[in-house]
């Protein structure tokens, strides 16, 4: 399987790329900075330099042609303002989905966020307004992807991300409750989802748990 990952230098994306390369799949990562290319190559991932904030659908579709799957793992990141939540977390995800459709890549997985909600117009008391903008942008991207009949999409919404070592055990389902999950385990779940066509059409929350990753993915695919 050839998988193209948007945001290929991100923390989850790098973990996923290494995992795919290790198991013998072909992985390519879309990156904005050429300086990141060597790190991807060292991980066994083909670097593709392309700025999703300025590229056309046609440009991105050219990079996706011949792929079996597309994973949107890009994000504006901590410290970015509200404007980039819109241009990256929403608009780039929509662009990547448009490009996948144009390139004929049906399998599309988007990493979202727990509590993403396009209707979140006013932040709840105590919530940072920029974070509210982020949740709204992610929710809008999710809604756009889920409306596409030409994509076999899965929306993955992890809990609070940590950098501790993965346990290989998770809780995965429509509603899990809020909790933490290591980025290692998010990457492992993504790798399993890519080979689980029965999870297409599902929006899944993910936190740490007691079920081995492959079993957790198989369980939701059967529902």
How do residues 179-192 score in pLDDT, each as one tens digit?
A: 999 999 999 999 99
Instruction: Report helix angle 57-64 to 93-103, nearest 10.
Output: 60
Is residue 49 exposed (0-12), middle (13-18) or buried (19+ Cβ within 10 Å)? middle
Measured distance CA(89)–CA(144) in Å, rounded: 12
Instruction: Identify the pLDDT of residue 223.
Output: 64
SS3 annotation, the chain: CEEEEECCCCHHHHHHHHHHHHCCCEEEEEECCHHHHHHHHHCCCEEEECCCCCCCHHHHHHHHCCCCEEEECCCCCCCCCHHHHHHHHHHHHHHHHHHHHHHCCCEEEEECCCCCCCCCCCCCCCCCHHHHHHHHHHHHHHHHHHCCCCCEEEEEEECEEECCCCCCEEEEECCCCCCEEEHHHHHHHHHHHHCCHHHCCEEEEEEECCEEHHHHHHHHHHC
Nearest Cα neighbor of 2 from 37, 48, 50 is: 48
Q: Which residues of the chain have pLDDT under 70?
A: 123, 223
Measured distance CA(196)–CA(216) in Å, rounded: 11
pTM of the model: 0.95
pLDDT tens for each residue of 164-180? 999 999 999 999 999 99
Q: Are 13 and 43 in contact (CB under 8 A)?
A: no
Nearest Cα neighbor of 18 from 188, 168, 155 is: 188
């Amino acid at each position: 399987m050839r998988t193209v990952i948007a945001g290929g230098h991100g923390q989850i994306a790098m973990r996923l790329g290494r995992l795919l390369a290790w198991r013998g799949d072909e992985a390519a990562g879309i990156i904005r900075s050429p300086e990141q290319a060597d790190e991807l190559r060292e991980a066994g991932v083909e670097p593709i330099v392309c700025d999703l904030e300025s590229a056309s659908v046609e440009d991105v579709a050219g990079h996706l042609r011949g792929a079996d799957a597309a994973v949107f793992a890009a994000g504006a990141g901590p410290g970015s303002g509200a404007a980039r939540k819109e241009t990256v977390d929403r608009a780039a995800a929509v662009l990547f989905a448009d490009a996948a459709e144009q390139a004929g890549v049906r399998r599309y997985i988007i990493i979202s966020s727990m509590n993403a909600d396009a209707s979140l117009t006013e932040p709840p008391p105590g919530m940072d307004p920029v974070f509210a903008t982020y949740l709204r942008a992610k929710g809008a991207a999710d809604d756009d992807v889920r409306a596409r009949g030409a994509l076999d999409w899965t929306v993955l919404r992890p809990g609070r991300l940590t950098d501790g070592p993965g346990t290989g055990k998770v809780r995965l389902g429509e509603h899990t409750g809020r909790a933490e999950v290591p980025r290692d385990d998010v990457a492992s779940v993504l790798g399993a989802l890519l080979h689980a066509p029965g999870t297409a059409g599902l929006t899944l929350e993910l936190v740490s748990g007691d079920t081995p990753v492959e079993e957790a993915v198989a369980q939701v695919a059967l529902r």
